[in-house]
Amino acid sequence: MSDLGLIVPEMSLAGFALLYLVIGLALKRWRWLVGIFTIIGLVGELALIVAFLTVSGNAFGVLTVSPFGRLLDLVFLAAALITLLIYLDIRELPYEGGFFLLAGTLGAMLLPKSVDFIMLFLSLETLSFSLYALVGLRGTRLDAEAGIKYFVLGGFSSAFLLMGIALLYALAGTFSFSGVMSAISDPGYNIGVLIAALSFIGIGFLFKASAVPFHFWTPDVFEGATAPVASYIATASKVAAFGLLLNIFSLAFGANPDLWWGFLWYVSVLTMFVGNTAALLEKSVKKMLAYSAIAHAGYLLIPVMAGTISSFSVIVLYALVYTMMTGGAFAIVSVLGDERTSLDSYKGLAKTRPIQAFLLTLFLLSLAGVPPLAGFVAKFYLFTGAFEAGLLSLAIIGLINGVISAYYYLRVVVYMYMMEPEEEPEIPKLRKRLWTAIAIAIAAAGTVYLGFFPGPALDFIRGLF
């Protein structure tokens, strides 16, 4: 297949994003039409990716198209679909946000496929700039503050990344992963430069992946951003970063694991503990979900370090499941409204809005890894992979963290089911939020189905590697 043929799904998504901008302008008044248009477009894109699932090859020397990348694309599209549906339901938000979401998804799709540092940087910035715009789009003070924070810190991390890439170029004389790999395989290169380059690149990416100690932006940005945008940052953006991390460490730096392995070990352990402990203390549900996203970043670093063949399937499955449950939880948060994020406003939700309380419980239990929900399957598979790769201590630390996390996920359930509502709330019913309800239905169906019958999906994913 020709180079252009390989990236048909990416090109069509770019086309669709532009089309959305135009059609959305025409249909601005009829949001439901925009919604239908979006669903049709994204489902079409989904079908296209499924059709291209087993196609692999190298496009222009900078992108490697493989089933792994395509499977992650499915995750990004699922995240985009869930997010867009929630987004369109919030009247105050301008429709243009949808464009940024689609553009960001394009960046996310390109990121884990990059095998060239320039391509990597371009796709990363495509993703990041869309997110900066999305966070500040509503234009309120809180939004703008979060947007600026995200932008400044994001720019900072991009600068680190660029610096690292430049150093690497000085060392290897090439931007391609394989070139770097062969340059640093022979002895005789300057190890100091390599370490510096690795550190800069590592910092840049760990920032995007919101790993400790580069996580400080996450809770603030999540609190300021609207729920769908926060959900998107937590899912698609993070998954893209991990897809890339797996690639970069196995393809570019795979020959020198001793340089980064120990560092990642500590980052992973710290990320799990800090994320979970901070979430324990958090009184805002949105911030709690932000810390939970941080903790999950810690879990996801484990397969990156394992670096076995099954790591790819672990990341895909975990990303898919994680997207479903986090997207679902944020969808419920969105229905409650961005001003109602404190735990207190969830008091007695089971009485006032039983369906929403039930669904949120479902997503939280899945996040806590309670069987028979999808979160359990994903975690079990992840830790089995860790044991298999011999990462015994890391797996046990991860499992212990799972227990800690159960506390704060269940605490929301306590507020919803075991306390009485304080006042008559003005929380909209789900049927008033049709698009959000569809998004929640997709997420809930996925969470339950993958929990009860993980066999077919897992076989399918494993079959592609």
Per-residue burial over 206-218, b = 16 or more CB atoms within 10 Å of its CB, e = otherwise? bbbbbbbebbebb
CA gyration radius, the chain: 21
Residues 52, 221: Cα–Cα separation, whole Å: 35
User: Measured between alpha carbons, how far is residue 5 from residues 11, 66, 320 in Å?
Assistant: 10, 13, 26
Q: Does 393 bind another protein (CB under 8 A)?
A: no
Find tokens 């694309």 and name the residue. Answer: 73
Candidates 78-86, 223-231, 295-303, 365-373: pick the segment binding another protein (CB under 8 A): 365-373
- Residues 399-438 touching another protein, rule: CB under 8 A, are 399-400, 402-403, 406-407, 410, 413-414, 417-418
Residue 413 token pair: 């359930």
Query: Is residue 36 close enough to count as binding another protein by CB under 8 A?
Result: no
Rounded to whole angstroms, the Cα distance separating 215 from 204 reads 11
Q: Does residue 303 belong to the site contacting another protein (CB under 8 A)?
A: no
**Nearest residue (CB) to another protein, 53 versus 395:** 395
Burial of 337 (0-12, 13-18, 19+ CB in 10 A): middle
Minimum distance from residue 383 beta carbon to another protein (Å): 6
Residues in the interface with another protein (CB under 8 A) total 32
Look-up: residue for tokens 């007695």? Answer: 348
Residue 259 interacts with another protein (CB under 8 A): yes or no: no
CA 169 to chain centre: 29
The residue whose two tokens read 């790999």 is 181
* Minimum gap (Å) between residue 402 Cβ and another protein: 7
Q: Which is nearer to another protein, 124 or 440 (CB)?
A: 440
Q: Please state, in angstroms and rounded to a whole number, the distance separating the CA atoms of residues 80 and 225.
A: 16
Minimal distance in Å, beta carbon 387 to another protein?
5
Asked if 370 is part of the footprint of another protein (rule: CB under 8 A), the reply reads: yes
Tell me: does residue 350 bind another protein (CB under 8 A): yes
Count CA within 13 A, CB hemisphere, residue 34.
27
Q: How distant, in Å, are the alpha carbons of 137, 138, 224, 265, 342 from that of 141?
A: 11, 9, 9, 39, 19
Choose which of 194, 198, 203, 395 interacts with another protein (CB under 8 A): 395
Could you tell me the smallest distance in angstroms from the CB atom of residue 47 to another protein? 25
Tokens of 109: 């799709």
Separation of alpha carbons 184 and 421, rounded Å? 62
Binding segment (CB under 8 A) for another protein, from list 95-103, 272-280, 335-343, 398-406? 398-406
**Residue 14: which residues within 8 A CB-CB, separation 6 or more?**
103, 106
**Nearest distance, CB of residue 382 and another protein, angstroms:** 11
| Number of neighbours of residue 120 by Cβ within 10 angstroms | 27
CB of 255 to another protein, least distance (A): 27
Minimum distance, C-beta of residue 283 to another protein, in the bound complex (Å)? 16
**Which residue from 265, 387, 449, 465 is in contact with another protein, where contact means CB under 8 A?**
387
> Of 384, 393, 422, 432, which one interacts with another protein (CB under 8 A)?
384
Stretch that binds another protein, among 102-110, 189-197, 395-403, 440-448 (CB under 8 A): 395-403
Among 388, 441, 464, 465, indicate the residue that binds another protein (CB under 8 A).
388
Stretch 436-465 residues interacting with another protein (CB under 8 A)? 453-455, 458-459, 462
Question: What residue ranges bind another protein (CB under 8 A)?
Answer: 350, 365, 370-372, 376-377, 380-381, 383-384, 387-388, 395-396, 399-400, 402-403, 406-407, 410, 413-414, 417-418, 453-455, 458-459, 462
